[in-house]
Amino acid sequence: MLNPDLQIMECTLRDGSYAIDFQFTARDTAIIAAALENAGFNYIEVGHGVGMNASNAGKGLAAATDEEYCRATASTLKRAKWGMFFIPGIGRHEDLEMAATYGMNFVRIGTNATEVEQSEEYVQHAKKLGMYVSSNLMKSYVLPPKELAEQAKLAEKFGTDLVSLVDSAGCMMPDDVSNYLEAMHEALGIPTGFHCHNNLAMGMANALTAVSSGVQFIDSTLQGMGRGGGNPATEILITVLKKQGVDLKVNPNQLMDLSTRIIKPLLQEKGLDPINVTLGYAGFHSSHLKTIAKYSELYDVDPRDLIIAVCEVDKVNAPEELVESMAQRLRQESGASELHAVSLPPLAFSTSDLGDRSEESLAAAARSVAQKVKTIAKKRGMQSVFNIVAAPSMIGRATVSRFVQEEFDYVVGSIEVDNPEQLKEVVETVDGLVDILFVDSEIKPYLEMPLTSMVSSVAKKSQVLGYKDNDVWARSVYRQMGTMQHDIEGRSVTIYGTDNLALKLALYLIEQGARVTMTGGETEELQLCARAISRISLNQTAPRVEADPVAASEGADVLVSFARGEAVINLPMIEALAPESIVFDAGIGAVASEAIAFGNENGIRIVRPDMRAALSAEISLALGTQRIVNNLMGHGEVAGVPVVAGGLMGRYGELVLDSVSNPSRVVGVADGQGGVIYESQPEFIENIEKVEREILRKQVIVK
């Protein structure tokens, strides 16, 4: 039967903090708590997910102290009641006393269902401090319903105001919830509550069963964020209850705006976690997962099997000796796995070097790659990108890469072209299939205009962004070299060639403190390049010049060439290198076959640069810069106060915001000379308060 006093205990700011490693700040707490109150909630739980004093007890360092959470909540809420979680042995009497000075309305004291006696002194202390007390019987499922009811009766004897059934592992079924609550209601003369998790996707069904069974408090979180499998989602619970005729006077639109704008961006993980599902199946508490991980790795057993085995013995605790003995048993029992043979179709590759094939074939190959990019991107929740590169010279062919990049937030396919007519048909074919056309904007000697201009004139659906391919290529080599060598400073690097890419790399390395030698050209040309690098480098250092490539390679840690299709790095050069050196075939085809064989046999790493990370960084840079200019930058007014954002220089006294179109905070005050005043100044306080109030109002935080 429905309890007429039914309330939702909104736990986003407490249980939800598990999902972000307890990193809700005091400001986050104030904003979200105010938004929840504004939407209509009467009870809001805040603080560290594990409870009071958890940061000090080594249970994970939260973004703020308990007192900062108390101060932020108390100074924000006008009507709603608020409280925190408390576990005896972690929380202390002085923590309750501190919270009482801020007027904390309630405390939820959690103990294992078998250890309720530990709560007695804290229940009584909290009552003396004037708090409403809920006793949360964690891991309720470890006891049969009648025995749990006896423990609930004990909590009632201690003076608690409410007892909550707690499905800590998300393992209960609706019938379980009904049976437990029936036993508790028969035994108790005080109200009940229900807190559950969603490991087996039964959280909402269990919550609704608890409501129909007569609980007074039901717990939920926005977006269902919480420990392990999360909790029932507040926005769905409110909606379903309203659909069933239970109106808790919560504004669903305000609630969903808050959930979408502030909470959803915090949740990065998608899909089901198999460990969380196993926790729900076995009735295992996630606080013991470190012990499971330790022994599953030590004995090379599946952690899911280990969880189930441990729970067959003890669902309350997971002592190391038990976990280890179960891991040893599983290891002994494990036999050779039988593999199910699967017949796979032959691998189908995209057409690559198309040579003199028809334009129709080139367009078809481009479309095939673009479609693959789109398919992968949609499945992985990434943006799809088609990279169009201008060939360094008129090579007489177009190349569609077989390789599709799938890392670093983007899925990228690539084509290299040198013919504007070919380009037009390719763009018309892939336009709209992918989100972004990322186009090499460098003017090559054979082109009358950058490819970006040509592509922009054709593309109608995909976003067109330009970049400099040579910069990305050179940075890829530089970054990969630095990571492989651990430190560039003091390293001896020989660069063969005086092309654009070679000079860019030489400048990067010189400025990082490398000892660079340039070779692969006439002495006069090399010296001219060295002087130019010295003139523009930050440290005014010039590369060493050595016309003889073998002498230049003597004792070098790294040898690089961007020559394309020319085997300029030969065997004598490789033989002259230092032991365990690295050779970068940065132009693809720059190393002779006999030199590659020698290197592989003698511990010299021959590397072709991987542009994936640098290309993704360049895409992010282009998109981020576009967003700053188009969405964040500008002058304007908020609440009648002049504001500026996005790096524009403001007049003295204008408030500097993080965005002029959709601000979320005041950064500081413009000093009129391009700087920002961050220190509080009395003359600006009124305007700052006006703007911050308006920002919060627009975020549906306060009325």
Q: Give pLDDT tens digits for 309-348.
A: 998 999 889 999 999 999 999 988 875 444 445 554 554 3
- Cβ neighbours of 356 (radius 10 Å): 6
On the CB side of 106, how many CA atoms lie within 13 Å of its CA?
20
Residues 518-530, mean pLDDT to the nearest whole number = 94
- Asked if 542 and 517 count as a contact pair (C-beta separation under 8 A), the reply is no
Statement: residue 172 has pLDDT above 90:
yes
CA distance 307 to 318: 9
- Max Cα-Cα span within the chain: 98
Order of strands across the sheet that contains 634-638: 634-638, 641-645, 655-657, 666-670, 676-677
Using DSSP's 3-state secondary structure scheme, residue 639 falls into: coil
Lowest-confidence pick of 355-364, 509-518, 614-623: 355-364
Residue 309 confidence (pLDDT) = 92
pLDDT of residue 359: 44
Planar angle of CA 285, 318, 9, nearest 5 degrees: 25
Question: Which H or E element spans position 85?
Answer: strand 81-86
Distances (CA, A) of 569 to 141, 320, 479, 519, 572: 70, 58, 21, 11, 8
- Which range has the worst mean pLDDT, 39-53, 278-292, 388-402? 388-402
Query: Could you give the CA distance from residue 650 to residue 634 in angstroms, rounded to a whole number?
Result: 10
pLDDT at 698: 76
CB atoms within 10 A of CB 447: 17
Judged by phi (left if over 0) then psi (alpha if -120 to 50, else beta), residue 245 lies in left
pLDDT at 353 over 60: no
Cα distance between residue 48 and residue 466, in whole Å: 46
Q: Which of 59-73, 120-134, 189-203, 356-370 has the lowest mean pLDDT?
A: 356-370
Is 119 or 264 the better-scoring residue by pLDDT? 119
* For residues 669-677, average pLDDT: 93
pTM, entire model:
0.74
Examine the pLDDT at 350 and tell me if it is beyond 50: no
* Residue 47 near residue 13, CB atoms below 8 Å: yes
What per-residue confidence (pLDDT) applies to 590?
A: 94
Residue 300, φ and ψ in degrees, nearest 5: 55, 55
8 Å CB contact between 435 and 385: yes
Residue 669 corresponds to which amino acid? V
Q: What count of Cα atoms within 13 Å lies in the side-chain half-sphere of residue 131?
A: 30
pLDDT of residue 405: 87
Instruction: Give how far the C-alpha of residue 205 lies from the chain's centroid of Cα atoms, to the nearest Å.
Output: 30
Using CB atoms within 10 Å of the CB of residue 64, give its burial: 0 to 12 exposed, 13 to 18 middle, 19+ buried: buried
Cα–Cα dist 231/141, whole Å: 17
How far apart CA 691 and CA 669 sit, in angstroms, is 12
Q: 81 with 106: CB under 8 angstroms?
A: yes
| Residue 204 contacts residue 232 (beta carbons within 8 Å) | yes
The structure tokens 């700087």 sit at 675
Better pLDDT: 273 or 531: 531
What separation, in Å, do the N-terminal and C-terminal C-alpha atoms of the chain show? 36
Give the number of other Cβ atoms within 10 Å of residue 375's Cβ.
14
Tell me what percent of the residues of the chain surpass a pLDDT of 70.
Answer: 94
Which residue in 439, 441, 372, 463 sits closest to 411, CA to CA? 372
Token pair of 387, please? Answer: 């990279």
Which pLDDT value is given to residue 669? 95
pLDDT average, residue stretch 477-487: 90
pLDDT-derived band of residue 271, with 50, 70 and 90 as boundaries? low
| CA separation for the pair 261, 662 (Å, rounded) | 12
